[in-house]
């Protein structure tokens, strides 16, 4: 497997995601934080399940990565509590205990991945990439579903307006007074003025008459 491609893809889809890391071992917590910072924009740290629940109730997270065996509240209890708050939350469990009963319990809770200690970073990379891809796909599905709902709402509004106009246009037209048909206009022409021409008697004729 090309782990460099997996790492590149994880960085592309995970960089804008927010991650909650829950680990009670300070050394492993620091190592995981340093590793995960290359792929995730925001990482919040909790040392036990109670602290993790407080952070989870105050902030939205795309992914929760938690140890299984912790004081105060175990990873199993934490996963169950998170599932009650958000059934769609993606959860990855890290543990050195891979017993069948424990795994069945986690499967029933609905975790997304189980990583066995001691950790191999390539395996961590693969599980995180798969889980983050599921987160990304769900976000895209939610986005397109929202866009489709908005488009359908706009279409329903437009159809309602058209239906209202179609129903009310006839009623409005019936209430308006009907104007009589306009009389046809006769074309008017300008009157021509009569012109008279005065005929003058030739000078020669007038002389002869006097003789």
* Lookup: tokens for 139: 């976000």
In a domain, 60, yes or no: yes
Question: What pTM does this model have?
Answer: 0.70
DSSP 21: E
In a domain, 209, yes or no: no
Place of tokens 């680990």: 23
CATH of the domain at 32: 3.40.50.2300
Residue span of the structural domain in which 24 resides: 3-145
Per-residue pLDDT reduced to its tens digit, 119-141: 998 999 999 999 999 999 998 99
pLDDT of residue 19: 97
pLDDT of residue 190: 62
**Which carries the bigger pLDDT value, residue 9 or residue 174?**
9
Per-residue pLDDT reduced to its tens digit, 85-108: 999 999 999 988 766 677 778 888
In a domain, 87, yes or no: yes
In a domain, 65, yes or no: yes
- Average pLDDT of 159-181? 69
Tell me how many helices (H) and strands (E) the chain has. Answer: 7, 5
In a domain, 20, yes or no: yes
Could you give the number of structural domains in the chain? Answer: 1
% of residues, the chain, pLDDT over 90: 52
* Lookup: tokens for 58: 């105050």
In a domain, 156, yes or no: no
- Name beta bridge partners: 114: 93
């Amino acid at each position: 497997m090309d782990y460099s491609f997996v790492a590149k893809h994880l960085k592309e889809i995970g960089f804008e995601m927010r991650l909650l890391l829950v680990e009670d071992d300070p050394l492993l917590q620091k190592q995981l934080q340093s590793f995960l910072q290359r792929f995730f924009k925001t990482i919040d740290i909790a040392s036990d399940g109670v602290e993790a629940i407080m952070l989870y109730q105050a902030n939205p997270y795309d992914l929760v990565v938690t140890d299984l065996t912790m004081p105060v509240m175990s990873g199993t209890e934490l996963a169950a509590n998170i599932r009650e708050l958000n059934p769609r939350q993606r959860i990855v469990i890290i543990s050195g205990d891979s017993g069948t009963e424990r795994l069945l319990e986690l499967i029933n809770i609905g975790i997304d991945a189980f990583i066995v200690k001691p950790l191999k970073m390539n395996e961590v990379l693969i599980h995180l990439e798969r889980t983050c891809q599921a987160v990304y796909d769900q976000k895209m599905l939610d986005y397109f579903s929202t866009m489709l709902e908005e488009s359908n709402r706009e279409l329903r509004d437009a159809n309602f307006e058209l239906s209202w106009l179609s129903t009310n246009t006839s009623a409005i037209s019936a209430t308006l007074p009907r104007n009589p048909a306009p009389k046809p206009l006769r074309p008017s022409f300008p009157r021509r003025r009569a012109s008279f021409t005065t005929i003058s008697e030739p000078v020669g004729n007038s002389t002869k008459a006097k003789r």
